[in-house]
Amino acid sequence: MNTIQPLEYDTYYHIYNRGNNRENIFREEENYPYFMKLYDEYITPVAETIAWCLMKNHFHMLIHLFPEEEIGYIIQKEGDKRTFTCPKKYNPSRQFANLFNAYAKAFNKRYKRTGCLFETPFRRIKVRDEHHLKELVRYIHYNPVKHGFVNLIGDYKWSSYSDFISQDASGCIGKNVVKIFGSIEELVIFHNKKHSDTNMENYT
């Protein structure tokens, strides 16, 4: 069993989690964009997102945590004014916890449920090298095919793959991800190659 590691600055991570007792964390179509809206709010200040995929009862994120000196301070608000009265940096682990708590609170209210929505603690695996990084991008995008939701990677709506091939690497998507593969064409070729996920299971 993997030991849960504290998040380190300036490091690439595979972040993933699933519903408590394998419960669905996305019940309706509108749940997916709502989660990503919260994700952008809480995680964008502390990390660049390289790839992502939301499934019914779990999700995968590949992120690069910013160096500590590049992470800003939480802005305090007093009425309509923004102030740094008590300067405090964003804490990456706390930001993820806030994300999950905010989504779970809204989810529980909407579906009239109580208790934990996500398994705790959330899983994180440090990316070893560039090869691991490339394999993770494909592994994350291949998840809907692996679980039988679609036959082709590009047919699944709730992943970053369509943003890659449309060259819309903006917002929550890492703007430099295509550089990892050399070009969009090479990215597509890499995704379409036959891969063995045997080694990837050791990363999760």
Grouping H, G, I as helix, E, B as strand and the rest as coil, residue 155 is helix
Report the C-alpha gap between 90 and 124 in whole angstroms: 18
* pLDDT at 29 (0 to 100): 96
Tokens 């819309």 belong to 168
Residues of the chain with pLDDT under 50: 1, 169-172, 174
Q: How does pLDDT run across 39-51, given as a tens digit for each residue?
A: 999 999 999 999 9
CATH number for domain 12-203, candidates 3.30.70.3340, 3.40.50.300, 3.40.50.1220, 3.30.70.1290? 3.30.70.1290
Grouping H, G, I as helix, E, B as strand and the rest as coil, residue 65 is strand
pTM of the full structure: 0.85
